[in-house]
């Protein structure tokens, strides 16, 4: 489970993240963070990302890297395609203790 705080994901909208693959890193862009209502002590949110059109990343856990959070494994699913790239989504439902209660 990712330890990256929700607040940091919000700051990284429009940032490029690296997906670390054996073939070399692939850059994808964090394009949206959507927060959902959750029970006290929990947070629910999704990340929407856009990757290159010439390279589809299948559903699985990938190691992501960004200078603000280092390397972090996260599960990502392809959800669509647009003229400017493939769309991906990550879904989080976790206790707020994961990130010290920080939103």
**What string of DSSP letters covers 66-80?**
ETTTEEEEEEEEEEE
The per-residue pLDDT for 22 is 94
pLDDT digits (tens, 9 = 90+) for 44-98: 999 999 999 999 999 999 999 999 999 999 999 999 999 999 999 999 999 987 5
Q: Determine contact, residues 35/75, Cβ cutoff 8 Å.
A: no
pLDDT digits (tens, 9 = 90+) for 7-51: 999 999 999 999 999 999 999 999 999 999 988 989 999 999 999
**What string of DSSP letters covers the chain?**
-----HHHHHHTTT-EEEEE-TT--EEEEEEEEEEE---TTEEEEEEEEEE-TT-PPPSEEEEEEETTTEEEEEEEEEEEEETTEEEEEEEEEEEGGGGTT--
């Amino acid at each position: 489970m990712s330890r990256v705080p929700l607040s940091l994901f919000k700051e990284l909208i429009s940032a490029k993240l690296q997906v670390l693959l054996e073939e070399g890193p692939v850059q994808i862009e964090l394009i949206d963070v959507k927060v959902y209502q959750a029970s006290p002590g929990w947070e629910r949110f999704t990340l929407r990302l856009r990757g290159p059109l010439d390279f589809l990343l299948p559903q699985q856990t990938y190691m992501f890297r960004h200078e603000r959070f280092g390397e972090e494994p996260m599960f990502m699913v392809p959800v669509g395609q647009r003229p400017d790239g493939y769309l991906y989504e990550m879904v989080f439902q976790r206790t707020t203790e994961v990130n010290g209660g920080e939103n």
